[in-house]
Amino acid sequence: MMHKKSKNIFSTVRFYVFALIIGLMIAVPFYWMAITSLKTESAVLTYPIEWIPTQITLENYTELFSSFSFGRVVLNSCIVSVAYTLVALTSCCMAAFAFAKLPFRGRDTILRIFIATLMIPAQSTLVPLFMIFNGMGLTNSYFSVILPSLFRVTGIFMLVQNMKTIPNDFIDAARIDGASYFTILFRIIVPLLGPAVATVGIITFMDSWNEYLWPLVMLTDTDMMTLPVALSTLSGMYERNFGVQMAGSLISIIPIVIVFLAAQRKFKDGLSLGGIKG
């Protein structure tokens, strides 16, 4: 009995030590980015490395916003990411509801074709999409980077698996009461799938916030560029000034951290439900 108890204690200690090591490996780069953004240009290149800065300055942030329209860039990313997420959630919920609950001929075949498109590299569709959007006159506009959110196969697949677990009795009862399919979806089905919808929303927001290639192609105007594109521009403008680059990088991850922390409980529950029900 004592041997078993000691073994359990050892396993617990080993787990926490391993988790601590992994946590430090993840936290150290973020700490380095934060302190570098608060150092002077000469202090950044000092050897040995100053893990605790002797002189803290906000000069990098001042230079970032004064010499570069970084505030506009942050606003662009916020508008694009929020709109992209809302459009994607709406289209994913509607498509998943059709595939999971509405019987029609070829439903399973169409869903399989949808899922098969995940194997197509995004780079191979870049030129055709650009030609379509350019022909529509949507370059250098928010619509050019928001409209692709109408087709989010991963979100559709995740929601379909969760919607299939909801009994059809809810839908039948609502139809008897005269509710439309839109009412059933957004007032009954979506509230029941709160964690799953939140998970899809967080993943979609993060993908949109970090998207680089498509905005780079569509948004050639400097006043329309998003954060990932702006950060690549900073790398060229401030090739030797790592403090300014780290200041821009730190600002770029703050919204993602806030969104994740605000919805981490639903995110965890959504992944758990997906693993159990999927």
How far apart are the two ends of the chain, measured CA to CA in Å?
39
Which class for 187: exposed (0-12), middle (13-18), buried (19 or more C-beta within 10 A)?
exposed
Domain range list for the chain: 67-277
Q: Which two tokens stand for residue 90?
A: 């709406």
Q: Which CATH superfamily is domain 67-277 in?
A: MetI-like (1.10.3720.10)
pTM: 0.80
- Residues 255, 142, 209, CA angle at the centre, nearest 5°? 25
Query: pLDDT by residue for the chain (278 residues), tens digit each?
Result: 555 666 677 778 888 888 888 888 888 888 888 888 887 777 777 777 777 777 777 888 887 887 777 888 888 999 999 999 999 999 999 999 999 888 888 888 988 888 888 888 878 888 888 888 888 888 888 888 888 888 888 888 888 888 888 888 888 888 888 888 888 888 888 888 888 888 888 889 988 998 888 888 888 887 888 888 888 877 666 666 777 788 888 888 888 888 777 776 665 665 555 444 44
